[in-house]
A = this chain, B = another copy of it.
Amino acid sequence: MEPVTSRVYQSLSQLKSPLFRGSLLTSASVLERHGTDESYHAARIPDAVAVASCEGDVQAVLRTCSDHGFPVIPYGAGTSLEGHIHALRGGLSLDVADMNSVLSVDPDEMTATVQCGILRSQLDNYLRDTGLFFPVDPGADATLGGMISTSASGTTTVRYGRMRDNVLGLKVVLPGGKKIQTGKERRGCSSAVDLTSMFIGAEGTLGVVTEATLKLYPRPEFSRSTVCTFQSMEDAIRTSVKILQQGVGVSRLEFVDETSIQAVNRAYQSWHEEKPSLFLEFQGSETSTKDEAETVKAIANKNDVIDVKTATELEDQKKLWHARHNSYYAILALRKGGKGVISDACVPISRLAECIRETKEDIADTNIFSAMIGHVGDGNFHVIFVVDLNNLDEIRTAKEITSRLSHRAIRMGGTCTGEHGVGMGKIPYLKAECDATSLELMRTLKKTLDPKGIMNPGKIIPE
């Protein structure tokens, strides 16, 4: 253990009571877990893990680490795909997973205030009997704090927006240990400099989000699902564009390529048609969703759809969505011990078909297994490579294709990251995506808020 670590360790130990009531862990397995996310990035373990039990703990940790210039890496569920929780310069992993209470639910205002260590599934269970729900679903069972820090999105974003659209206010502990309440715990404030947005998507580089007030929505009275199968990817994308342009109120609009469906069929012995497909969901009343599903069918028919299946019973809808909901893990399961290298490029929907086609051509020359799924409602799609982590050639090829895809997306007016964030993995692309003055401004803001550079160093901002 380096001297600085032991100093901080001692400081935190001294703080134990009453200022720091959490626990401080240094066992190898705990360090390993806190330095490893769900991505292909090799582990980078912290010097110690501080498990915070309350906001006061977070303040104590940040004050102490600020005094010692010691890095702090906020840790929630470790579901990052871009190495957000990797301790690139050592330091303290600040685990907030125990801070997972729902502090209040206001059914009239349709808001919930939660501690940020709460998992998406925990919040969902808690809300089950209220008639309300929180819509953002990035797939992984992340913490709300993690979802805020990457401004996550997911399958329902086409209707309900991303995290940025669904957070009303935050409590944040700043690097020196002071705390602020940003925004109001209600809808529609116009006033002053928007501090809330500053911390959404900041990936823990500006402070630690400890509480959030979230927008909730009424659980829909009725839902209906449709799957459209096409001969070509282009037909499917053209159909999506038309659906969005006509303002059909879809709650999900997902594209799954034929390879992903093959993977699902192989993994689950199922018999979904192995063609490019659109998966749609409609929420509302029985008549309004019927109306919408019929409009979609008419649009699909004009774009040479092969088959349209619709379901209204919950069980039938689940069966219909099976190939989409299970695609990611089915793709990974194709290869024992395989890890995913996943891109999340995002392009204007008018360029989506072109971007997918060019990327498919790029992949065609390699022999790594890959598949594509996409939240086409917001132009966001994933290429998933299943690589053997011991095969450096494969990893290099996957990274090269991902790199070309990121630059392609940026060139087409899109972004290298639609939902996973920048982390350590996408820093090079940010330079291509943002102008030099914007990057300089980000650096200046970082320096202003975190003058000692303790918060999640080496993430987001190119140095």
Contact = CB atoms under 8 A, between A and B. Distances in A.
Please indicate which of the listed interface residues A106, A193, A292, A419 has the most CB atoms of chain B within 10 Å of its own CB: A193
Interface stretch (A13-21, A61-69, A272-280, A408-416): A408-416
A346 interface: yes
A223 to B, nearest CB: 12
A6 interface: no
Interface string A421-453: 110001000100111011001101110110000
Given A188-B380, A287-B288, 5 more contacts: A106-B350, A180-B437, A186-B348, A193-B201, A197-B197
A131 B245 CA distance: 9
Contact of A421 (B161, B191, B194): B191
A390 interface: no
Contacts of A249: 249, 284, 288
A189 B287 contact: no
Interface in A332-372: 344, 346-350
Given A244-B110, A350-B109, A417 B201 contact: no
Please indicate which of the listed interface residues A179, A188, A448 has the most CB atoms of chain B within 10 Å of its own CB: A188
A391 to B, nearest CB: 29
Given A247-B220, A441-B174, A435 B190 contact: no
Nearest to A242: B108
A26 to B, nearest CB: 32
A193 B288 contact: no
B193 A206 contact: yes
B184 A191 contact: no
Please indicate which of the listed interface residues A179, A189, A221, A287 has the most CB atoms of chain B within 10 Å of its own CB: A189
Interface string A100-115: 0000001111100000
Contact of A378 (B187, B241, B245, B291): B187
A437 B106 contact: no
A195 interface: yes
A286 to B, nearest CB: 9
Contacts of A110: 244-245
A285 interface: yes
A246 interface: yes
A234 B202 CA distance: 42
